[in-house]
Structure 1
């Protein structure tokens, strides 16, 4: 049975575009894998602690020499890494907050990136990862914000170039057009971008289902 690891990080609940597109992906995935498993981590409602000196130190201490606090911290990190390693596919909602990914998502990445294992090893190499990189404006070529997208390039560097996953990005843009009066003329473009994102999510889930069953 196929397992999907679904990571959400948006704070906007039912108003979140990244969550809505993720629901479309997940629905198509579950249609193809009715007996499969979905591990859903909502980092907004159940955030993961940022790396601290205890967790970091546990990685350098021999297992038998770890303190009780280090053992507890390492067990949490090990669980997150194993979820990543054993999933057949990963779905990540990554909205743009202040030109970067949410800090909760960065915390998850800090836990699952481990030298000699997920990075520099082959435990997640080739794993299909789909990122929904939503943003309130547009950072496309020719726009005033061109060159200031620090989400897709960063995640591509980390997930594709360093962890060697099979990365696919879905980018719904202009998500604030209906709530920001100054963007009212962009509502049509926003709707088009949203619709394309939902279609891309559905097609990506179906494609992965075909690949994984081959």
Structure 2
């Protein structure tokens, strides 16, 4: 049976969050295709993980036998997240754009999980694991748009998840999510609606396809 690690980081509930809503579409498709599978769920908004500390960071580069009590305690918390990540056969991550980048809670999770010589480096423990990131954003930062240079979500996550963690990364990008709420973006509402519909379709197809592959 395959295990899906599902992480949400939006500060908004599903009714007001594009990343949560699209991630839920993926998850439902996954569960319908693979009902006997396991889903591990983390909501980083309601239950954030600790930001990395000096003890947690330095413990990752020291022999466990040499850990101070403070390092041992901090590293034990990191190991819980690392082992949970390593148990996953696939990852689903909601990563809305806040001020041009990912939520700090998701960055904290990544800082805990990234461990050179284990999850990151030459032979990362999660190498090849498929990860689907729902990268929602209020405007458009696609190539050729005026704000293309401000796109730090996909660029950052590609560097970390592909180059560091060796994951098989796929993005689903619902954009222009502020159009229904901003009078200045009213004319973009049809584009937002098309993007939302396409994102849900892509998420459903991706969830179903991955579940089929991993259940085979």
Counterpart residue number, 2:131: 129
TM alignment of 1:100-115, pairs within 5 A: 100-115=101-116
Matches within 5 A, 1:38-57: 38-57=39-58
1:201 and 2:203 matched: yes
For structure 2, the 5+ residue unaligned runs are: none
Matched positions, count: 214
Moved more, 60-69 or 34-43: 60-69
Q: Secondary structure at the match of 1:40?
A: strand
Alignment match of 2:142 (pick from 140, 162, 173): 140
- The residue number in structure 1 matching 2:8 is 8
Match of 2:36 in 1: 35
Q: Deviation per CA, 1:131-184, whole angstroms, max 9, x where unpaired?
A: 000000001233221222111111111111221111000011000011111111
**For 1:59 and 1:125, how far apart are their aligned partners in 2?**
19
The 5 A counterparts of 1:81-96 are: 81-96=82-97
Matched, 1:167 2:169: yes
Q: After TM superposition, give the deviation of residue 7 of structure 1 in Å.
A: 0.8
Q: What is the TM-score of this pair, normalised by structure 1?
A: 0.96
Structure with bigger RCO (C-alpha 8 Å, 6+ apart): 2
Structure 1, unmatched stretches of 5+, are none
User: How far is the alpha carbon of 1:49 from its aligned partner?
Assistant: 1.0
1:192 pairs, out of 191, 194, 213, with: 194
> 2:26 aligns to what?
25
Output the CA distance in 2 between the equivalents of 1:73 and 1:159: 23
Instruction: Please give the root-mean-square deviation of Cα atoms over the aligned residues, in Å.
Output: 1.2
